Structure 1
């Protein structure tokens, strides 16, 4: 795989709680694979339980690039991800291994495939102001504001998606231009073009009711593992707040509010489950735009064998021999 024409990477995508990590680990047990995380939450150190990060022992045996690379107080952009992913891909190819891009941050996958717009960074003060407005005025109010200043972006961003909604308003406030204008200038230097690479798209997901059950079970497991204590440790630092992307991650924002006394334990569970289901729905919407993906039922015991057969049919495995 050192020759340019032989460059291949596999994108293992799926909604939250679909079982992507388990599939990736089993694939790594069978193939000379380098795992590259495509997860905007797993980048943060000290945020392990709520992100469903692989255990320390698993990470030591099966290293994941782009995990634990930022402090929760630090920023991390799509452009940062692209730079990190390209470096990890180059390292994998140089060692004649197969890069496996694993995660559910679909914006990152889209940026790898299609390229990104050169959107300027937004000041922390702008983020804090908008986050406070969202808390006081509500997301629906901010979405109406986005409809006024950037109707194009508003049509594609749901009012219950705080991360994308706040990001769009942050860019408008900081740059004076709608984020949709920046999108229109998007580079066409996606992965295939800039690295001369073939990206194989694989989706794993269980049936809807199985996924719903997994989401509920995972919340209970996280609480039992010490998720609330993990967020309490972050709060005790004193330099973090709810405006930061790290604390806006699903689960963390809700536990943050719980620890601040804004909601009780019963409401905490309701909000986390609602936010997690919403995330899974948005991920599914993004996944539908990857028309070349091959889907597999991750609840089936033969899922890894089926994926291996699919890769073999594309002559991907022959490149590893």
Structure 2
């Protein structure tokens, strides 16, 4: 790897609605008070898109004024932004922050972004949209479990690491195999350079299931009250469209379907909450697979400041 994120940066991450933003700000304040200052780098794959503010819980003006923020609002929603694009942008910003004597603090919950910073990135072949379309058609025709079994035949290692319901990753693994003739798991091995958590400052906020689900429900209700539907309507007005990635974002996809007349508003809220719970579960699986992570169990009534104090104490 060209840059060692694991030992030079801090990471405050966790599942959706776990309280990352508030805790990350508190940790940044403590690092700043200790000397040198700190700046925040987003670790959120949807916060890179301009105008997608409510559904991504993007830091507001007050938060950005309090501590400098980076890696947000980098692209318009109809543009694509790859993991490799993110890695390159993150390295440039982190190097600049360190050169100015400050500490980069990554805050966000996109596991693929976290893994690529900690262990490098297997980029693989570019997307073959025609092949991907065919694979997605097979997915619809035969079901995700049948396609997962097909992956098991050609790449049992990848199949064992990919959940049977993770359609996106199953399709990508099959796409890479059909494009290159080589299992994606073999090509990824050189990038799987794990480190013990004690060598890194990667902290994952973890709440019990009941608390997490309650916070997700409250988060979705708040987003709807703040105007998520109006935000999406504005992003798609006058013939504008969302790109492939932006249109699949949790909350945005469901609202797009609502605006298309497929679901009423109460059903849309329930669908966003349900999909967010599933997404949070997948995030947890990702974090547990990374040895660099230290888990911080959080009580429902614990303040962000108290959690930050514990994190700084653990970091030593």
- What range describes the TM-score normalised by the shorter chain of this pair? 0.7 to 0.9
State the match for 1:36 in structure 2. 41
Gaps of 5+ in 1: 193-197, 316-321
Deviation at 1:28, TM superposition (A): 3.0
* Contact persistence 1:11–1:201 (CA under 8 A): yes
- Confirm or deny: 8 A CA contact 1:150 1:180 kept in the other structure: yes
Query: Are the aligned partners of 1:18 and 1:298 in contact in 2 as well (CA < 8 Å)?
Result: no
CA distance in 2, matches of 1:151, 1:88: 38
**1:97 corresponds to which residue?**
102
- Structure 1 position 208 matched with structure 2 position 209: yes
User: Which moved further from structure 2: 252-261 or 272-281?
Assistant: 252-261
Q: Distance in 2 between matches of 1:145 and 1:235?
A: 37
For residue 69 of structure 1, report the CA deviation from its aligned partner: 0.8
3-state SS of the aligned residue for 1:246?
helix
Aligned to 1:319: none
Kept in 2, the 8 Å contact 1:112–1:191? The answer is no
Indicate the larger mover: 39-48 or 111-120: 111-120
The match for 1:52 is 57
Structure 2 CA distance, aligned partners of 1:67 and 1:135? Answer: 34
Which residue of structure 2 aligns with residue 318 of structure 1?
Answer: none
1:225 paired residue number: 226
Moved more, 281-290 or 172-181: 172-181
Aligned to 2:72: 67
Q: Which residue of 2 aligns with 1:288?
A: 288
Match of 2:308 in 1: 307
Is the alpha carbon distance of 1:273 and 1:94 closer, same or farther for their aligned partners in structure 2, counting shifts above 3 Å? same
TM-score, length-normalised on structure 2? 0.82
2:170 paired with 1:157: no
Using the alignment, how far apart are the partners of 1:240 and 1:127 within structure 2?
21
Q: Which runs of 5+ in 2 are unaligned?
A: none
Quick check: 2:177–2:184 contact (8 Å CA) kept in 1? Answer: yes
Cα distance, 1:135 vs structure 2: 6.2
Which of 121, 125, 147 is the aligned partner of 2:126?
121
Report if aligned partners of 2:207, 2:298 keep a CA contact under 8 Å in 1.
Answer: yes
For the residues of structure 1 that align with 2:195 and 2:114, how far apart are their CA atoms? Answer: 10
Instruction: Show the counterpart of 2:258.
Output: 258
State the Cα RMSD in Å.
3.0
